[in-house]
Structure 1
């Protein structure tokens, strides 16, 4: 009798944790994991690479460090299409592979919301290559300044004020004194502007915490434009609407962090979706397809307390992965499945290496204690996806004040 074929697409938080847990089940199965890169990266720390605070190697580790080669085959390739009825996956280089069970965990993409000029002129921050590009682009502008004295070269606009935006601004402002010295720049000419369409900043936190975090960034020179939707991005400016008037901020570095969507392959593969996310069944399978699990950034799970989908975070992705591993084993063994449930443990938003705000297990934290908790959470995440060795190699142990 042929072994059950399990295919996992993506090696982000959801995909890699699923692999780790499924391998522990020691099923009579052939496991294949497909990912376009040979490494897993901690997506919650892309802002550190984009700001120059840390190199890519600090936030990534090899997928093979998790792969049990007795059970699992790793294919480094790009997914082209999932044929859900035929139970096959088309790959760019390796042709077509078959599956009995599929875990779709391909991650997120930048969302432009159809705004003119975003795809052409703004810099997204969705993976390591794009984060490196943000850093390199900014450095290139700074390097040109002393030749031209063009002050738009020293102007940075961050579009959006979500978690990624605020964490990027936190690291960037802490790196700025070093950059000023490195490129011999006039510190008073540096301009950092954050433009946000929503009327409030960091609404997921209580007002005391959000005010603390935003004030820290303002004290470091960040200017916030709030309740001002972006209308267009040009090569040298961001056009926004304030009341009924169109205005612009001139800048040569425009970073786009307004939001993300699930993988475009969700829609291309024929799943019913909205912004790349599928409203999954209670066992995290695609409706009508009990052998196809969709988790992480491509899944939508309703939070019944507010009748809205839970935000796509690393925390929920890891919990989904644990549930999928159990349910995969249950389905193969013809045992009852366990419905997925989730209760957030809170969240922490960094505003630099030793500054953060957060709400964890019902407790509000700010400043150094919050930043320490952020590092503890990161270390736990590394342990969850990569194991003890990876945690000690890549973990955050600079818990000093």
Structure 2
């Protein structure tokens, strides 16, 4: 049996971290290395499903599963703890409950909401970030509806929901809201016409970078469900009473609302910035083998990594699809380093497609170069979700947590 086995520490059980650890146990034997996975919670949550939990169209427990159910517990030491700091030179990770030395480190700590310095957003807006924020937002929306008819003086701001951001998260959340609001109106005896849902987007289009035909379809579909769009309009300030929005060189507009949702961007985890890595908004521009420049024993993936598309000279978006592919590459490369297996593998993203849901039974997307919308796109979205579950936990996890209601 090997003495002084290399210590591999993986921070974060998101898409990238879980793929790394499940594949790594197949790359290296029990006598080759000690593997430790650190995560704040004892569960993994499907980040790409948080818009459903936030709107209340999918229970938050459906969006998570226990980490122990998908890792090989005889091979992986799971530590439920919070990462406080990474000391690169000392090769150790500081946790709330102690320290972990490492020989190889994988950082997959995920992202935090990016407020771009807009006054009041951090204090008064609801992010769609994790299980707890999604549960809080769902309960808050329901409370506003439940309270509306109990007050002698009716307050329209209780039934006004402002969503900042019309990217993937914002649009998918709006799609779920469009389905959920009529149910809430029926439950709490409220006329649907009294509810106002406003999406504010600073960019000149919804779903920036997406196919224009599909963007038009999404906008018209959501407008038909009663969603208002203010495009090319920036959120300037958020207060306890709503938001100030406006176009450049135009008079600002006040929107009174008790529910402001911020879905306009994320940045890498602050631990990455504090550790001293050269970064941009918490994301490290990694080498082609996914190692951090100047640190041959540190791999960074997911929301914390910045990987450039050579064709466009722009970063790939930090999607679950890419994070999972990065996890596979990282596992292979750590295996080669431990076994002395020669040159490391370069990460080459294989983008199979992108689909944005517009509620349970509608969506838009491009898959293998083919444009999809409506029911076919919605079915494909569920197939993608199920495939993600299968890649991590096999058929058992897919049957337990998968989405099989296609019509």
User: Which of 318, 322, 326 is 1:316 aligned to?
Assistant: 322
Aligned to 2:232: 227
Equivalent of 2:93 in 89, 96, 117: 89
Question: How far has the Cα of 1:343 moved from its partner?
Answer: 3.2
Equivalent of 2:303, from 297, 301, 309? 297
Residue of structure 2 aligned with 1:128, choices 111, 127, 131: 131
Is the CA contact 2:167–2:208 (under 8 Å) kept in the aligned structure 1?
no
Aligned equivalents of 1:222 and 1:76: distance in 2?
41
Structure 1 residue aligned with 2:168: 163
Which whole-Å CA distance do the structure 2 matches of 1:11 and 1:161 have between them? 28
Q: Which one of 14, 17, 27 corresponds to residue 15 of structure 1?
A: 17
In structure 1, stretches of 5+ residues that fail to align are none
Q: CA deviation at 1:181?
A: 1.1
Are the aligned partners of 1:29 and 1:71 in contact in 2 as well (CA < 8 Å)? Answer: no
1:56 — aligned with what?
A: 60
- Correspondence for 2:180: 175
The 2-side partners of 1:7 and 1:317 are apart by: 17
8 Å CA contact retained: 2:214, 2:365:
yes
**Alignment partner of 1:279 is 2:273:** no
- Does structure 1 retain, via aligned residues, the 8 Å contact 2:19–2:328? yes
- Given candidates 186, 189, 203, the residue that maps to 2:208 is 203
- Partner Cα distance (1:59, 1:384) in 2: 16
* Alignment RMSD: 0.9
CA distance in 2, matches of 1:193, 1:135: 17
Q: What SS class does the counterpart of residue 387 from structure 1 fall into?
A: helix
Q: Which runs of 5+ in 2 are unaligned?
A: none
Alpha carbons 1:157, 1:251 under 8 Å: kept: yes
Once the two structures are TM-superposed, the CA of residue 241 in structure 1 deviates from its matched residue by 1.6
Worse-superposed segment, 67-76 or 212-221: 67-76
Count of residues in Structure 1 that have an aligned counterpart in Structure 2: 399
Matched position secondary structure for 2:197:
strand
Partner residue in 2 for 1:112: 115
Farther off after superposition, 63-72 or 359-368: 63-72
- TM-superposed CA distance for 1:203, in Å, is 2.9
Distance apart, 1:26 and its partner CA: 3.3
Relative to the length of structure 2, the TM-score reads: 0.97
Local SS of the residue matching 2:347: coil
Task: Give me the TM-score of the superposition, normalised by structure 1.
Answer: 0.98
